[in-house]
């Protein structure tokens, strides 16, 4: 009901965010940490912060997300959380026996200026970190960036702490998958397997946050990139970083530390971005593209050709993470659909530049905003109503109030389940997106048609 009071007049706001189109850095850092096998994420801050981070991930993935917290009290807030972190590391290694603890900071620990490397070093000297066990950390204050930059910072830390330089290079390619679903990470590995390219994918949440129900609880699921794999990433011949914001930092760190050349690509969402990923993988691996991959691409082209009349010039409003929106926008333009309003909560002018580049040939002005919010998104929709909305669960209120079909995509999705098992990357992912687009358009057409004009066949 409250959204119906959103005014149509758009005013520039610099000091007020209403319904932000993002969540905080520690959520992304915790998600990345879960992509290491036998890793225990740790939130260096208050219990409430950690509970929020775990809750966001648990609700999205419908899996129990385990994490520790330094449990700041008033004393830690004033005098620092060093003692809390030392005790927490000792307790976690003693009780839960992880291979590695991944510490991320919060607003509070960043504001008081806790020196995590110094605290960890003192803890190790004090004999409270067992031999052979590891602690890595990332600085992730919530008052800057978003969950995407938190993911990027933790992934970079994996390289900084774990990757080992070597002059002996192996016939293998690193893939940094970006902030995508576990199903997407599994699909990236499947595509690489089809091409016969050996890869190390990290972080890797497939098999962790979409693990099967076996009737027996496994505290550390079988999935995730192992510590040894990440250590050996410095021996790979190349790195493909998927998504500039989420993956480029780690790829650059790996090049600086281990002299592994890298290429930054868009997330392989849609036809053209997947083409570029497959081609880059082919070149990096020195292999041909097999017939099975060409068949999958041909299926996407077939559906695009057959269904073009239903998608042609349909207006779409999108909100979500920058790397995902860039690839989705390109896919929509490829389908002759019209992206009209595009908002990400993550700041960065590069995002706006990329969207403007992709949409420059469209016959109208595209509204685009980095560091925007859902309030602005709703205002734009009120002024120019689209045919579809693509975004996370929180878009359902706008979709309901404005009577517009919603396609759920991105983070978080708390009221549906398919995102953890069905990929939207690669050619198979493109087919799934096409099906979702067509279902939304055709369901609305059937709903709004009178009895005489309801189509029985497409």
Q: 270-327: per-residue pLDDT in tens?
A: 999 999 999 999 999 999 999 999 999 999 999 999 999 999 999 999 999 999 999 9
Superfamily of domain covering 170-292: Nitrogenase molybdenum iron protein domain (3.40.50.1980)
Q: Taking the CA atoms of 80, 26, 395 and 348 in sequence, report the sign of the dihedral they define.
A: positive
pLDDT of 89 over the 80 cut: yes
To 10 degrees, the CA torsion angle through 149, 231, 95, 26? 0
Spell out the domain ranges in the chain: 25-154, 170-292, 295-448
Asked whether residue 2 carries a pLDDT value surpassing 70, the answer given is no
Q: How confident is the model at residue 217 (pLDDT cuts 50, 70, 90)?
A: confident
Q: What is the pLDDT of residue 1?
A: 46
Q: What are the distances in angstroms from CA 291 to CA 194, 195, 284, 296? A: 9, 10, 19, 9
Tracing tokens 């409270």 back to the chain, one arrives at 128
Task: Give the C-alpha distances (Å, rounded to integers) separating 252 from 70, 188, 264, 442.
Answer: 31, 21, 10, 45
The pLDDT-based confidence of 342 (bands split at 50, 70, 90) is very high
CATH of 25-154, one of 3.30.420.40, 3.30.2180.10, 1.10.8.420, 3.40.50.1980: 3.40.50.1980
Query: Which CATH number fits the domain 295-448, given the four candidates 3.40.50.1980, 3.90.1640.10, 3.30.2040.10, 3.60.150.10?
Result: 3.40.50.1980
105-109, 201-205, 446-450, range with greatest mean pLDDT = 201-205
336-360 mean pLDDT: 97
pTM, 2 dp: 0.96
């Amino acid at each position: 009901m409250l959204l119906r009071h959103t005014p149509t007049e758009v005013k520039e706001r610099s000091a007020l965010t209403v319904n932000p189109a993002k969540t905080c850095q520690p959520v992304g850092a915790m998600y990345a940490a879960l992509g290491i096998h036998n890793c225990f994420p740790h939130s260096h801050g208050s219990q409430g912060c950690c509970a929020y981070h775990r809750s966001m991930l648990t609700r999205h993935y419908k899996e129990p997300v385990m994490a520790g917290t330094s449990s700041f009290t008033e004393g830690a807030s004033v005098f620092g959380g060093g003692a809390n972190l030392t005790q927490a590391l000792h307790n976690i290694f003693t009780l839960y026996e992880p291979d590695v603890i991944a510490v991320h900071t919060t607003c509070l620990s960043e504001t008081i200026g806790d020196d995590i490397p110094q605290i960890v070093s003192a803890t190790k000297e004090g004999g409270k970190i067992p031999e052979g066990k590891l602690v890595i950390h990332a600085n992730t204050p919530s008052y800057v960036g978003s969950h995407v930059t938190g993911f990027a910072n933790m992934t970079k830390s994996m390289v900084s702490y774990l990757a080992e330089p070597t002059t002996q290079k192996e016939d293998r390619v690193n893939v940094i998958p970006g902030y995508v679903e576990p199903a997407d990470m599994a699909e990236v590995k499947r595509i690489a397997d089809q091409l016969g390219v050996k890869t190390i994918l990290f972080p890797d949440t497939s098999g962790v946050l979409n693990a099967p129900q076996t009737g027996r609880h496994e505290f550390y699921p079988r999935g995730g990139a192992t510590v040894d794999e990440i250590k050996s990433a410095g021996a790979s011949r190349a790195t493909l970083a998927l998504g500039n914001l989420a993956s480029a930092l780690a790829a650059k760190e790996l090049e600086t530390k281990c002299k592994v050349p890298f290429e930054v690509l868009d997330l392989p969402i849609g036809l053209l971005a997947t083409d570029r990923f497959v081609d880059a993988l082919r070149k990096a691996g020195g292999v041909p593209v097999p017939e099975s991959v060409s068949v999958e691409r041909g299926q996407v082209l077939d559906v695009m050709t057959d269904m073009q009349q239903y998608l042609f010039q349909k207006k779409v409003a999108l909100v979500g993470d920058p790397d995902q929106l860039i690839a989705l926008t390109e896919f929509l333009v490829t389908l002759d659909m019209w992206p009209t309003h595009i908002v990400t909560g993550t700041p960065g002018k590069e995002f706006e530049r990329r969207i403007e580049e992709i949409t420059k040939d469209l016959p109208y002005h595209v509204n685009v905003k980095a560091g925007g919010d859902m309030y602005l998104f709703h205002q734009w929709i009120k002024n120019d109503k689209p045919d579809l909305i693509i975004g996370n669960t929180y878009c359902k209120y706008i979709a309901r109030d404005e009577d517009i079909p919603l396609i759920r995509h991105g983070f978080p999705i708390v009221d549906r389940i398919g995102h953890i098992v069905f990929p939207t990357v690669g050619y198979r992912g493109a087919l799934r997106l096409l099906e979702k687009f067509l279902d939304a358009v055709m369901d609305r057409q059937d709903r709004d048609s009178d009895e005489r004009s309801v189509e029985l066949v497409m």
